[in-house]
Structure 1
């Protein structure tokens, strides 16, 4: 029988010329899909946006149906970038490692590994949000193949652009279909965030209004000071708590979540610097930091931050004679490390000499040992044409022993 597939009772009608029986239903569903967003304080969304802005891979943990995929669509829309969703659990290891393609002369050109279409689209666009869903349902072989994608951004023979952000989602193994604990190497490459929804948020969403994803805006004028402060905080903290530099949990569940390692402390450093430069709220910053290094180390870091309150090192270098050295030893160390990092980020003779003025105050305060490491780092930055400033006198013997200055200073 010939006729319109949407209206088989109309013989001879051209396809698409008459509305089908589902047209009204489709229009109704379109009305239900039309929602709006509003600014709202949501530390969970802020922490996700902070990690994505800092370009750190994020893993969202939440029960099925909690809205992780919808959150990714909203985030990509807010960032103005395309979203590529990959269901990790239905792929083979070769889908991430690449499929071999034999060329004309393999002995000369080798055998390239062909990337999948989603990777080619991201590389062609130059930016995007790559979302790996159902990560905890992926078997160990697939998780192993994903290691290189997450860490090196390499898919087969293709390297994804640095501007591509990576987010994954997982259900707890107890509620995941054929769930697995994440392998420690893969888990240690993510910022882990718990993804939940408040009942009031869901109720308001059913009325057509969801919270807006506020993307942090990094202030270029604050970038240098933010990096220096973050370096001072993380380096000072790990100097005081060396046992937290690396600690692999003993249980499988703990190894599959966030735990401290040199890699995750580097992630925490980037999150903290981005948070300082963007003015991120304390709750969101706390969630991101504990999501990077784990709850135990993260809570200790947050307690350390709570009482640190470092001054802006760039402002101090602009007028080094006007500041007072903090009284507490941990604050002194973190501040001096931050000052040296600020000098390194914008190295000039005036800033280098100002750095020695700052370090000299540690000597005047009777704590030259606190400034010893900072002094060695600052001396290593010296241009051979720059004269040795007066403030270095108290450190000359130490620096000569360390080889940072020639004999006779």
Structure 2
């Protein structure tokens, strides 16, 4: 509606600001937003890392609106430790009743509402004493004498120390309580958002029928990895900067297990799962866990040897190579002529459905397992060409390298 010419200037400015504030949302694939909503759904504290002005606060505001949660923003660096631990209030008889710790007003509002999004902003500018006071808030959800209800989720944001105003490194105990997500701007999202349409934040849709299997899958993945790599259970980084990020501990492995279960039940993408796992236990252990998950999905070598004609091999080259190596290892452990022949049939199937170079090493290893009384299968003729071409390519590359 047109504004009257006699309206006060600030009223006209308010109308213009209202028009600028009118935006819409759309369903759009956004891995980092999906990772954030899944961690929030899993009721894990999340810490968004990003340069100033990258849109961390705006993302949290939009998330609260989309989830219909009241947003409570607390700038950690401008508070005292007592604002999180509570102020002592002396009662009638402290010797009998003790001294209760009075919580701040924002905590009381969250408890009364029974739900909400607690946003701890500028976490990396909070001094060590304030970070220590935040430990119980983040892990035990206690503020003074109050306990935050289950309907409250906790998300924090921080700038790297190099770009934070009077920044501090996060203390290892506080850092180990968060799922760390690197927040970066997406050019297309920013351009479309400035045009008035931002991506919509939605909680992941969990499949009720997959919940038991999701829990069993997550427990198996984490337990098998830690059983094989016990040194990964707890690794406190020696570098101060890395201590302020994700690193493996029994607590963070429990968080990773929960995230895998939620990601499996929601059937999220590999990119989203990778962000969450690496943001919980660190890049190195996280990548090992992801590789372990890949191996869990590989077909059983014994099943493949039992029926090579019906075998379905992975499309990804590294996974296919792992399957073929597993088949050859199964024959080595229990060498029998029929199993040896079946392995050759599987290599031929791999040759027909994938890259020829993937069968070279398994074929050479399998050939070395032959016993004198085993007949050479006709399948070897199919593979001889691929092996010869691969070896010729290796010799050519070696000659070129020597010439250089």
TM normalised by structure 2 equals 0.72
SS of the equivalent of 2:293 reads helix
Please list, as runs of the form range in 1=range in 2, the aligned pairs for 1:86-125 lying within 5 A after superposition: 86-125=74-113
Unaligned stretches of 5+ in structure 2? 1-5, 306-332, 335-404
Give the aligned CA root-mean-square deviation in angstroms: 2.0
How far is 1:231 from its partner?
Answer: 0.6
Tell me the alpha carbon deviations over residues 236-275 of structure 1, each in whole angstroms, 9 at most, x when there is no partner.
Answer: 1111111111111111100000000000000000000011
What is the rounded CA distance, in whole Å, between the counterparts of 2:137 and 2:201 in structure 1? 26
Counterpart among 231, 242, 247 of residue 243 in structure 1:
231
SS of the equivalent of 2:52 reads coil
How far is 1:308 from its partner?
Answer: 1.7
Q: What residue number does 2:210 align with?
A: 222
1:41 aligns with 2:17: no
SS of the equivalent of 2:185 reads coil
What is the rounded CA distance, in whole Å, between the counterparts of 2:304 and 2:107 in structure 1? 53
Q: What residue number does 1:20 align with?
A: 8
Q: What residue number does 2:62 align with?
A: 74
Moved over 2 A (4+): 323-328
What is the rounded CA distance, in whole Å, between the counterparts of 2:298 and 2:104 in structure 1? 47
1:201 aligns with 2:169: no
SS of the equivalent of 1:22 reads helix
Tell me the alpha carbon deviations over residues 161-217 of structure 1, each in whole angstroms, 9 at most, x when there is no partner.
Answer: 122111000000010010000000000000000011112211111111111113102
The count of corresponding residues between Structure 1 and Structure 2 is: 302
Structure 1 279/295 Cα, relative in aligned 2: closer, same or farther at 3 Å? same
**More helix per residue:** 2
Q: What residue number does 1:395 align with?
A: none
Q: What residue number does 2:294 align with?
A: 306
What is the rounded CA distance, in whole Å, between the counterparts of 2:222 and 2:304 in structure 1? 19
1:175 aligns with 2:163: yes
Please list, as runs of the form range in 1=range in 2, the aligned pairs for 1:153-302 lying within 5 A after superposition: 153-302=141-290
Larger Rg: 1 or 2? 2
How far is 1:80 from its partner?
Answer: 1.6
Tell me the alpha carbon deviations over residues 360-390 of structure 1, each in whole angstroms, 9 at most, x when there is no partner.
Answer: xxxxx99xxxxxxxxxxxxxxxxxxxxxxxx
Tell me the alpha carbon deviations over residues 47-76 of structure 1, each in whole angstroms, 9 at most, x when there is no partner.
Answer: 111111111110000011111111111111
Unaligned stretches of 5+ in structure 1? 1-17, 312-322, 329-364, 367-409
How far is 1:325 from its partner?
Answer: 7.6
